[in-house]
């Protein structure tokens, strides 16, 4: 089992190289040949998963969006969440998919377009399936992995719940949800923070080694945002195209991998409740 997980980990690392090569292909492929003056809109995706998985999920979505709107899109990768957040803060993306708290922080420069309106975002805490840990209290003094300081449900919300329960853990940040789950499955940490959607997207060999011992309250899910630099007409065109994509069987199958169970309009008011959760205590500005 451990050998299989180590192989899986190596494949994930190798996938980074594949992502870089494929992202370059996306921009220069003959099927995407455009006149030089055609603008290219940069798309950023919060790196919850390894780069290969993000590329596999988003490339067909952007290809469909390109075909529908006649616009040109380029996926821009980020090696980790802090790097991604710096790019968001510097407005390097025209469109961006990120967590709700990141959306709140970026609200001066970006406007919500769409989100999953069917499934709320919940943080989870996982341990190894054979672990004697069954509840929050038993995590006292244990080592716990998180993707990054500002991962909303996986880090901010779970850390807030631990503090409210008076539980102190040794915190480690390991960059992605995938790495959190692998470390717990391999017994390299006592517990990990994640979200149910990303756990369900892990290989079966990893999922079978984990058990969920805690879930946070649910909040509005990750949105796609558009830069305020873009025209209202362009923003509405992309919003409408994504909603229409979710209404077709092929489009919904692609969007389910994001994961978007049902795509609907997102507005800034969806995320106001986050201001009352006291999460700024745990947020690390870049």
Q: How far, rounded to the nearest angstrom, does the alpha carbon of residue 173 sit from its chain's CA centroid?
A: 15
Residue 58 has what pLDDT?
97
Cα Rg for the chain, rounded, in angstroms?
19
C-alpha to C-alpha distance for 75 and 87, rounded to whole angstroms: 13
- Predicted confidence (pLDDT) per residue in 194-249, tens digit: 998 899 989 999 999 999 999 998 899 999 999 999 999 999 999 999 999 999 99
Segment 41-60 shows an average pLDDT of 93
- Predicted confidence (pLDDT) per residue in 203-213, tens digit: 999 999 999 99
Q: How many residues comprise the chain?
A: 286
Residue 49 has what pLDDT?
83
- Reference 158, options 117, 87, 99, 97; nearest CA is 99
Cis peptide before 227 (omega within 30 of 0): no
For residue 35, pLDDT over 80 is answered with no
Segment 4-8 shows an average pLDDT of 55
pTM over 0.95: no
> Could you tell me the domains of the chain?
2-119+221-281 (3.40.190.10), 121-219 (3.40.190.10)
Instruction: State the pLDDT confidence band at 72, using cuts at 50, 70 and 90.
Output: very high
Residues 138, 141, 145, 148: is their CA dihedral positive or negative?
Answer: positive
C-alpha to C-alpha distance for 254 and 91, rounded to whole angstroms: 27
In this structure, what DSSP letter does residue 90 have?
A: T
C-alpha to C-alpha distance for 185 and 259, rounded to whole angstroms: 23
Residue 7 has what pLDDT?
54
Segment 74-94 shows an average pLDDT of 94
Instruction: State the pLDDT confidence band at 17, using cuts at 50, 70 and 90.
Output: very low
C-alpha to C-alpha distance for 123 and 92, rounded to whole angstroms: 28
Who has greater pLDDT, 7 or 219?
219
Q: Which two tokens stand for residue 181?
A: 């789950």
Residue 273 has what pLDDT?
83
């Amino acid at each position: 089992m451990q050998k299989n997980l180590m192989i899986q980990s190596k494949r994930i690392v190798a996938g980074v190289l594949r992502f870089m090569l494929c992202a370059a292909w996306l921009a220069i492929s003959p099927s995407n040949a455009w006149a030089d003056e055609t603008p290219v809109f940069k798309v950023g995706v919060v790196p919850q998963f390894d780069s290969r998985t993000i590329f596999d999920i988003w490339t067909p979505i952007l290809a469909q969006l390109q075909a529908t709107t006649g616009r040109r899109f380029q996926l821009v990768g980020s090696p980790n969440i802090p790097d991604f957040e710096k790019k968001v803060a510097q407005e390097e993306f025209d469109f961006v998919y990120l967590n709700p708290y990141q959306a709140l922080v970026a609200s001066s420069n970006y406007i919500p377009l769409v989100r999953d309106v069917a499934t709320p975002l919940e943080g989870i805490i996982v341990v190894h399936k054979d672990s004697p840990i069954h509840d929050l209290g038993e995590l006292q003094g244990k080592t716990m992995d998180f993707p990054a300081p500002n991962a909303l449900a996986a880090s901010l919300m779970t850390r807030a719940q631990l503090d409210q329960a008076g539980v102190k853990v040794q915190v480690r940040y390991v960059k992605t949800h995938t790495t959190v789950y692998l470390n717990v499955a391999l017994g390299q940490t006592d517990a990990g923070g994640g979200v149910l959607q990303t756990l369900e997207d892990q290989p079966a060999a990893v999922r079978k080694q984990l058990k969920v011992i805690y879930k946070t309250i649910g909040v509005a899910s990750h949105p796609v945002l558009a830069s305020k630099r873009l025209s209202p007409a362009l923003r509405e065109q992309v919003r409408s195209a994504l909603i229409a994509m979710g209404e077709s069987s092929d489009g919904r199958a692609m969007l389910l991998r994001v994961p978007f169970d049902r795509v609907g309009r997102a507005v800034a008011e969806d995320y106001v409740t986050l201001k009352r959760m006291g999460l700024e205590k745990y947020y690390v500005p870049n």
